[in-house]
Structure 1
Amino acid sequence: MLTVSSSTSAWRLSCTVRQDGAMLLSTKISPRFAPILNIRRCSRPHATCVQDTPVDQVELDLFQHQLNLKSPVDTLRCLLLNDTQPLFRQMHLRSVVKDSYKVDFPINGQMLNHSEFRQHMAVKQGPKFRRRLIREQLLRCQTTQDLMRVLAVAFQRKETTRDLMDMDLCIVRALYRARDITTDQKIFGTISTIVSRFRRENLPLTRYLLAVGIKFAARTRSLPGMKRYLKMHKELGFPIAKTLFRAIIAKCSVGVHGYGEIRNGRWSRRDLLQVLLGFEDTAPEDQHHLGLFLDRTEWTQLYGWLVVLSRCKASDELWKEWLLWQDNPLRLKTGKVASQYGENKLRGDYSFIEMMADAGDTRRAWNMLGDSKIPFKDSRTRLRRTLLRDIQYATVWDDQIPVDLLAQYDFELKKVEDALGVEWISLGDDQGYHKPTDTMKQSLEALSSPFFKSEPDFGYPHDLSAEGMLPSLIT
């Protein structure tokens, strides 16, 4: 079929005029090609393209066979002979075939009826039609059941299975839409099923599917899932970019507020350490843990790595990272001072000190503070309070420490008073007494609860070992 885009080729054919045995070029378009060039410009279909009666499948196959027999040589011959009737006939056949395969999707964004979708997929049409049909159906999926039904139809034939190679982003979008009404565990199970079927059909796995799989494995606290997807990343040679690396750590819900715990609970400390440092049932030469994908020359990855190690109370690993940080190119080169800790060296040293203090090893945190030459008074209030709990390990001293010790005493005493439900009534001259408050009963009931904690521990994985249970019993 000749389209408007073929006007250039028609001009090239018309501009060759034979004069005295020579071929000369002319910029004027011959008027005999005007009806052909204006066919697609008309807003209405041509009179010969109007379909009055429905066409059965036998006639459609016959029309498609006739269209397949056409070649560019036939079109060129019709143009040179100024015979437009075969071209109009060809346009009519194409319009009939196109209208017969036209799919009318619901205008309200709903999916096409499943039986109707299967009928359209069973028609022997080109890959362009099938890909468009699958894509439109995937973009309307709202549940995991809808998604799996669409993929089940596509996996029934080899030609439709190959069309799924370009549908990875559509599948990912459908999974995130389904997350609004279902659990992350079910989403993760759906992803694992899709990945298994892709590998069974020898379809290439894209980094988008693997990225979604490893994110939901972290969300659902699945140790086998993390092990599986980390292994596939290593086998396929897919690097974990800095954005994906930080996303994996964030999905472990190790933030200060720990909002991810509301939906999926907490990681086990033992399982999370396996994901970070190495799996117990894997040989050292076959390890594929998250630490192998860490790029220590990229600060965002390194900072996320320090955060998750501190939440796991892995002070020994933090100390190893501190020793490696001394020779890190990021620390050796100084950057433009944009804030108090704008330089890479100061920012990195302070982050290491803060993470070591959060991990509970204040002795090493004091040693880091002394080695970094950062003044104690320049530290944040939260870090100073943590370090002053073990003042016996102090490696530096300045005028701010006595002031902070007194403020620390007031802060800790206020916590005890709130836990007991009493308040201090001052009489002046350092004299006074404690008075029960209106919330004393509720405070004592909360204090007697087995789940009482003097400080919130959001974002920390739970530790069921004997060493991990002992501090919680003391508090």
Structure 2
Amino acid sequence: MILSTKFSTRFAPLLNFRHCSRPHATCVQDTPVDQVDLDLIQHQLNLKSPVDTLRCLLLNDTRPLFRQMHLRSVVKDSLKVDFPINGQMLNHAEFREYMAVKQGPKFRRRLMREQLLRCQTTQDLMRVLAVALQRKETTRDLVDMDLCIVRALYRARDTTTDLKVFGAISTIISRFRRENLPLTRYLLAVGIKFAARARSLPGMKRYLKLHKELGFPIAKTLFRAIIAKFSVGVHGYGEIRNGRWSRRDLLQVLLGFEDTVPEDEHHLGLFLDRTEWTQLYGWLVVLSRCKASDELWKEWLLWQDNPLRLETGKVASQFSENKLRGDYSFIEMMADAGDTRRAWNMLGESKIPFKDCRTRLRRTLLRDIQHATVWDDQMPVDLLAQYDFELKKVENALGMEWISLGDDQGYHKPTDTMHQSLEALSSPYFKMEPDFGYPHDLSTEEDEMMLHVEDMSIYHPTSARKSKKSSNDTTS
């Protein structure tokens, strides 16, 4: 086969050539092109043949290749996208037209990245993805946009609820799987965290199964983040936005789903690394909030042979740092779960002095002192303080306060909030102290009606006392 060495004139009508004084050198002078010439250049570039490239390589003639690069730069310069300087998105019609231009993947990825970084709502995000999913080449570029999608989802939290954000990420992952696009760990991590925020049992089941099928481990930071989304904090900050989980549903997420066979288990406990204290502590916290004392006792038995507990600490210390910290955490979580009998047994086995425990733990243990396994000089003092603490809770519930006159003498006086306190006390869901962080066993409507002592100041009774006056009485 004889390859032609004739100078290619495919793009000659669109370019002006000027010969320099140097032989065999051609300088290309670009001229402004209109839309017709631009369409012709794009059409000719799409018709390039590998035979032309092979001919240039065999003849060591790179001028046609440089001309193609120049023409591509002409097309690129004519397609510069001027994004709004105020951070707004491109018009949806303009974005769709730019994505329809057959440019390289770098141009498309930059265009999608700039558009995704300007999304403020889930509707904006889904519109961008809908345009990208219309063509195969743009669909493949979505794999590299995972971090931009994640950032857009978190920005959408300012304008919508976590439940709608969870619906958006679930739709995105479904589209990815339908198009056979690889799922990254960033998308799965966001999906499982928003499933926990939205208190979705099917969502948690789906994403835990995806982690198991794809072989993605749940790192310690993600594991603790998932547990934090269960709203198990003692101050109740997590419940402000997303409320509480149902205890039955949360136990399924932790220990196993009811409609899953044992051979196909994919609950959160399978991803627990007991040699990592960060994960183990979060696991103990969520079990104690679910009042799963039996599971806590099983973890206590496993903790006896845990490498973290068997490691030696300081030579002069009776307890190593990990052993002391771990034993105390187990005692505290068992007491929070309500099983004080086992908590006393743990305290006796760990040989931790009672006076070294925190005040909150000592008060919890002293409520069931009949199960005590240790005794020291601090316990009589704490019993008197416990009596005073419990008596003050009763006084607050009745709207009374104690006025001391000295020498253990005094009297009770009604407070200004006595009426509100008695109204709250008459509620069937009244509790002497808050129970933030504990999943509920009631329905959503009943859980919203629950009142606590700290809510008395903002509680307004819904019923008013009926007047005893007769309807015929006209006296004022």
Answer whether TM exceeds 0.5 for this pair: yes
Residues 337-373 of structure 1 deviation map (CA, whole Å, 9 limit, x = unaligned):
9999870000000000000000000000000000000
- Deviation, structure 1 residue 123: 1.6
Residues 228-275 of structure 1 deviation map (CA, whole Å, 9 limit, x = unaligned):
110111111111111111000000010111212111111000000000
Task: Please name the residue that 1:49 is paired with.
Answer: 30
Q: Structure 2 matches for 1:89-108, cutoff 5 A?
A: 92-108=70-86
Match of 2:29, SS state, is helix
Aligned AA (2:389): F
- Deviation, structure 1 residue 119: 1.1
Q: Distance in 1 between matches of 2:218 and 2:437?
A: 23
Stretch moving more, 340-349 or 318-327: 340-349
Task: Please name the residue that 2:183 is paired with.
Answer: 205
Q: Distance in 1 between matches of 2:381 and 2:408?
A: 18
- Structure 1: gaps (5+ residues): 1-30, 37-45
Task: Please name the residue that 2:457 is paired with.
Answer: none
- The match for 1:64 among 38, 42, 45 is 45
Aligned AA (1:172): V
Contact 2:404 2:411 (C-alpha < 8 Å) held by counterparts: yes
Aligned AA (2:160): T
Task: Please name the residue that 2:456 is paired with.
Answer: none
**What RMSD over aligned residues (CA atoms) do the two structures have, in Å?**
3.0
- The match for 2:119 among 132, 141, 148 is 141
Q: Distance in 2 between matches of 1:32 and 1:312?
A: 85
- Deviation, structure 1 residue 170: 1.0
- Deviation, structure 1 residue 73: 7.3
Give the total of aligned pairs. 426
Task: Please name the residue that 1:270 is paired with.
Answer: 248
Q: 1:416 to 1:461 in 2, by over 3 A?
A: same
Match of 2:115, SS state, is helix
Contact 2:197 2:242 (C-alpha < 8 Å) held by counterparts: yes
Task: Please name the residue that 1:377 is paired with.
Answer: 355
Pair 1:296-2:277 in alignment: no
Pair 1:325-2:303 in alignment: yes
Stretch moving more, 243-252 or 71-80: 71-80
Task: Please name the residue that 2:466 is paired with.
Answer: none
Q: Structure 2 matches for 1:154-233, cutoff 5 A?
A: 154-233=132-211
Contact 1:63 1:93 (C-alpha < 8 Å) held by counterparts: no
Pair 1:124-2:124 in alignment: no
Pair 1:258-2:239 in alignment: no
Contact 1:51 1:96 (C-alpha < 8 Å) held by counterparts: no
Q: Distance in 2 between matches of 1:423 and 1:340?
A: 46
Q: Distance in 1 between matches of 2:316 and 2:272?
A: 27
Residues 414-454 of structure 1 deviation map (CA, whole Å, 9 limit, x = unaligned):
11111112222233332222122233223222222344211
- Deviation, structure 1 residue 60: 2.1
Task: Please name the residue that 1:27 is paired with.
Answer: none
Residues 280-325 of structure 1 deviation map (CA, whole Å, 9 limit, x = unaligned):
1111111110001100000000000000000000000000000000
- Deviation, structure 1 residue 66: 8.1
Aligned AA (1:327): D
Aligned AA (2:273): D
Q: 1:163 to 1:367 in 2, by over 3 A?
A: same
Q: 1:341 to 1:166 in 2, by over 3 A?
A: farther
Aligned AA (2:432): S
Q: 1:99 to 1:321 in 2, by over 3 A?
A: same
Pair 1:248-2:226 in alignment: yes
- The match for 1:279 among 232, 257, 262 is 257
Q: 1:68 to 1:134 in 2, by over 3 A?
A: farther
Contact 2:312 2:320 (C-alpha < 8 Å) held by counterparts: no
Stretch moving more, 345-354 or 89-98: 89-98
Contact 1:64 1:97 (C-alpha < 8 Å) held by counterparts: no
TM-score by length of 1: 0.83
- Deviation, structure 1 residue 327: 0.4
- Deviation, structure 1 residue 95: 3.2
Task: Please name the residue that 2:469 is paired with.
Answer: none
Pair 1:414-2:392 in alignment: yes
Q: Structure 2 matches for 1:14-25, cutoff 5 A?
A: none
Aligned AA (2:147): L
Q: Distance in 2 between matches of 1:62 and 1:431?
A: 101
Q: Distance in 1 between matches of 2:425 and 2:318?
A: 41
Residues 66-115 of structure 1 deviation map (CA, whole Å, 9 limit, x = unaligned):
877764974997889xxx8x788556523322222322222222111111
TM-score by length of 2: 0.82
Contact 2:198 2:242 (C-alpha < 8 Å) held by counterparts: yes
Pair 1:238-2:216 in alignment: yes
- The match for 1:459 among 422, 425, 437 is 437
Pair 1:430-2:408 in alignment: yes
Q: 1:49 to 1:107 in 2, by over 3 A?
A: farther
Task: Please name the residue that 1:305 is paired with.
Answer: 283
Contact 1:169 1:208 (C-alpha < 8 Å) held by counterparts: yes
Residues 374-406 of structure 1 deviation map (CA, whole Å, 9 limit, x = unaligned):
000000000000000000000000000000000
Q: 1:341 to 1:410 in 2, by over 3 A?
A: farther
Aligned AA (1:292): L
Contact 1:49 1:91 (C-alpha < 8 Å) held by counterparts: no
Question: Which structure 1 residue ranges, 4+ long, deviate > 3 Å from structure 2?
Answer: 52-58, 65-80, 86-92, 335-342
- Identity across aligned pairs (percent)? 84
Match of 1:463, SS state, is coil
Q: Distance in 1 between matches of 2:194 and 2:147?
A: 16
Stretch moving more, 180-189 or 60-69: 60-69
